[in-house]
Amino acid sequence: MTNERILLSTPHMTGNEQKYINEAFESNWIAPLGPNVDAFEQEIADYVGVKAAAATSSGTAAIHLALRLLGVGPGDTVFCSSLTFVASANPILYQGADPIFIDSELKSWNMCPQALAEAFQWAETNKCLPKAIIVVNLYGQSADMDPIIELCERYNVPIIEDAAESLGAEYKGKKSGSLGHFGVFSFNGNKIISTSGGGMLVSNDEQAIEKARFLSTQARDPAPHYQHSQLGYNYRMSNVLAGIGRAQLEAIDTRVKQRREKFHTYESELNDLPGIEFMPEAEFGLHNRWLTTMLLTEDAPIDRDELIHALANEDIESRPVWKPMHLQPSYEKYYFIKIWEDSLSKKLFRKGICLPSSSSLSAKEQKFINDTILIQMK
């Protein structure tokens, strides 16, 4: 159909990015920090509905800062969703702590509140209550936060809401990323809005965000010379990239609408085929459909890997659902809490496939993808 490969999720520029980039160049604010950074932080905070935000070099850096701010260290444990990208879990090891992974539930594919309750009971019995919990909002959908918050408040454990994939999504009318003590966003090149590379830490704890800014600029003390009393990091976003982010954020509602439209087109064309089930939209919120994700069940005439191979032969990129952390070689030694005999996150990984979902995906490209899948499903 085309000489160009159809990619999973590509950046979609608004056309307004150059204005902010030019302002950075004209003012010579090229290095980290500057007016665009300050403005982008305030605009994200306003959009999400929190008091403060700190722009970082990545979403991973933002998670790391959140754990540091919560005092996580060697000997501590941190609960974390198992079905996620490794960046959600790696910062736990950065701090010398041990992750305990929690299985998913059916209605959102996110952290299962029942499994979380069992994890807390187990941890209380074994005197290893977590220092924090990282709840991931998978593929653009919020976890069921009310029961998770209730459990965490009962045990006095702060929540880091990993909303890297879910900017623009909602939970009961509240923006994703605004429900935990900290929220984290990613602006990697494949996300719903992009700064090329970057992230954001948000919170209603303004003092903590100010401390995050301090730590992320190498923890330089207020002195006329370079003095450092604490360990810091080079985690701040550049003024140029923040300018790109400001233009991207102006289009966030349009991008959510476009991604949801891509999903509904897939659903209308493929949902009636035997063996296909799409990631549900839970009744409690708005899914931003960052990636359209579906399962190939036992009724499907081909399996997940065969479909990925068939799409690749037509220059269509797809990929499996995230491989759960408890199945990863670097994490398989850590505890994993489930309520299903065969973990749901493992089943979702085995059967799940992510389809091209760029907001700029053309109708012609999407028809070609759907036609390719229809041929394979006959």
Distances (CA, A) of 214 to 56, 70, 96, 204, 210: 12, 15, 21, 17, 6
Domain finish residue from 195, 230, 249:
249
Whether 136 and 86 map to the same domain: the answer is yes
Whether 159 and 274 map to the same domain: the answer is no
Whether 224 and 156 map to the same domain: the answer is yes
Residues involved in catalysis: 191
Instruction: Please report the pLDDT score of residue 51 as a whole number.
Output: 98
Q: For residues 112-137, give the mean pLDDT.
A: 97
Q: For residues 201-219, give the mean pLDDT.
A: 97
> Is it the case that residue 1 has pLDDT exceeding 60?
no
Whether 262 and 204 map to the same domain: the answer is no
Whether 82 and 28 map to the same domain: the answer is yes
Q: Which of 323, 317, 331, 325 is nearest to 368 (CA)?
A: 317
Q: Are 24 and 243 in contact (CB under 8 A)?
A: yes
Which percentage of the chain shows pLDDT scores above 70? 99
Instruction: Please report the pLDDT score of residue 66 as a whole number.
Output: 98
Q: What is the DSSP string of 131-163?
A: SEEEEE-GGG----HHHHHHHHHHHT--EEEE-
Whether 216 and 358 map to the same domain: the answer is no
What is the average pLDDT score of the chain? 96
Does residue 9 lie within any of the structural domains?
no
Quote the distance between the C-alpha of residue 85 and its chain's center.
8
Whether 165 and 264 map to the same domain: the answer is no
Q: Which of 98, 91, 83 is nearest to 129 (CA)?
A: 98
Domain finish residue from 249, 282, 302:
249
pLDDT in tens, 77-91: 999 999 999 999 999
Whether 43 and 107 map to the same domain: the answer is yes
Would you state the structure tokens that stand for residue 116, as one six-digit string? 């979380």
Does residue 4 lie within any of the structural domains?
no
By residue range, what is the domain housing residue 299? 252-376
Domain finish residue from 214, 249, 284:
249
Q: What is the CATH number of the domain that holds 289?
A: 3.90.1150.10
Whether 257 and 356 map to the same domain: the answer is yes
Which run of H or E residues covers position 54? strand 52-56
Q: What is the CATH number of the domain that holds 143?
A: 3.40.640.10
Band (114; pLDDT cuts 50, 70, 90): very high
> Is it the case that residue 341 has pLDDT exceeding 90?
no
Does residue 12 lie within any of the structural domains?
no
Q: Considering the entire predicted model, what is its pTM?
A: 0.96
Q: What is the DSSP string of 269-336?
A: HHTTSTTEEEPP--TTEE---SSEEEEE-TTSSS-HHHHHHHHHHTTB--EEPPPPGGGSTTTTTS-E
Band (3; pLDDT cuts 50, 70, 90): low
